[in-house]
Structure 1
Amino acid sequence: MSSRINRRHLLIGVSAIGAGLAAPAIAQTGGLRRNASSFTMPDWRDHFDDLGVATLISDTTSRAVHYWSGDGADYRIYPTSVPMSDELTKRGYTEIVRKKVGPDWTPTQSQRERFGWEYMPPGPDNPLGTHAMYLGWPAYLIHGTHDTRKIGRPSSDGCIGLYNHQIEELFGICPVGTQVRVI
């Protein structure tokens, strides 16, 4: 075996060193996290004793909602928007208590004070999109959005948002009583 370094070996070596140096630099970008690097695949058994009528796990770190049917035969995953800050994020166990097609929206007192927002009837400007599933926590929903730029980002005031066509699908397969965990 020759100990000579040819151009190919030099390029491979420099590339490897460059990749090794870039990783710590990326890690030190002020805590910026990319969705792909923070994605996890939760197992419902780590959160619930059984699947109930259906199960949702909303993972705010990987910005995804995971769905399992009550019999475990159907598993789906949806990209989501998440709350803008930890202070706005409610975590824990709840369930879907009500569902509505064409929801209207009434901002919370805090939203009215901070942004001057007012009541919004159903329609294309409504921030709840085309479908909403209300959780057992007041003012927390899983809903659609007409603003597709919000999906995959921390952009909500506490709710979990999905693309309208995906909330419509999820709405159709999640009965009232679906157990939900926000992590």
Structure 2
Amino acid sequence: MTLSRRQLIITGAAAALVVPATARATDIRRNVSSFAMQDWRDHFSQLGKASIVCDTESRALHFWSGDGSDYRIYPTSVPKTDELTKRGYTEIVRKKVGPSWTPTASQMERFPDWKPVAGGAPDNPLGTHALYFDWPAYLIHGTHDTRKIGRRSSDGCIGLYNEKIAELFELVPIGAQVRLI
């Protein structure tokens, strides 16, 4: 069977319309940005003061307000390797605008030329705001390097665009529960 040029174009156009619709129908738990949707009930028994799930697979942070009326998803950077990724339950114990940064001991072993950076400095790897966990040296923070968002690029922390961490900072109370998956 031979197809004319016109038949080939029509067949190709029809296939182009059917394939995306079929692909969308196969995964209804994904939104337009490809982040896996989350339900807080899959992670916590109650919302508490507020709840955060950091999904290192889809590289997204999910936030729910304490009364459940506000649900937001933020794109994130995640740890470079599984060895740097801490998973489990924690909580927000401190918040800081203009955080200063000091390399950890393991970072100094790998990168001996790294030096501490003052809060508010344009090259500060913690960006403009930070939310600290009750795990030492792990936090949610901003970044000035927007190329990192959506990638495996951190040494263990969860990074957000500076404007998004500023927004989240205002929403999250001390004591908010957090789960890293």
> TM-score normalised by the shorter chain: which range applies?
0.7 to 0.9
For 2:6 and 2:73, the matched residues in 1 are separated by 43
* Residues 72 and 131 (structure 1), Cα distance of their counterparts in 2 relative to 1, 3 Å cut: same
Paired with 1:172 and 1:7, the residues of 2 have a C-alpha distance of: 59
Q: Which residue of 1 aligns with 2:123?
A: 125
- Deviation beyond 4 Å, 4+ runs, structure 1: 3-6, 12-16
Aligned residue number for residue 148 of structure 1: 146
Give the SS at the match of 2:168: helix
| Pairs within 5 Å for 1:85-104 | 85-104=81-100
Structure 1 counterpart of 2:116, one-letter code? Y
Query: Structure 1: 5+ residue runs without aligned partners?
Result: 21-35
Aligned pairs for 1:53-68 (under 5 A) are 53-68=49-64
Q: Distance in 2 between matches of 1:100 and 1:37?
A: 29
Correspondence 1:33-112 to 2 at 5 A: 39-112=35-108
Inter-partner Cα distance in structure 2 for 1:12 and 1:114: 57
Using the size of structure 1 for normalisation, the TM-score is: 0.82
1:114 is matched with: 110
Count of paired positions? 165
CA distance in 2, matches of 1:169, 1:102: 14
Q: Are positions 1:163 and 2:144 aligned together?
A: no
Q: C-alpha separation between the residues in 2 aligned to 1:4 and 1:144? A: 58
Pairing partner for 1:139 from 125, 133, 137: 137
1:167 aligns to what SS in structure 2?
helix
TM-score, L = length of structure 2 = 0.83
The Cα shift of 1:8 comes to 3.8
Please, which runs of 5 or more residues in structure 2 have no aligned partner?
Answer: 20-31
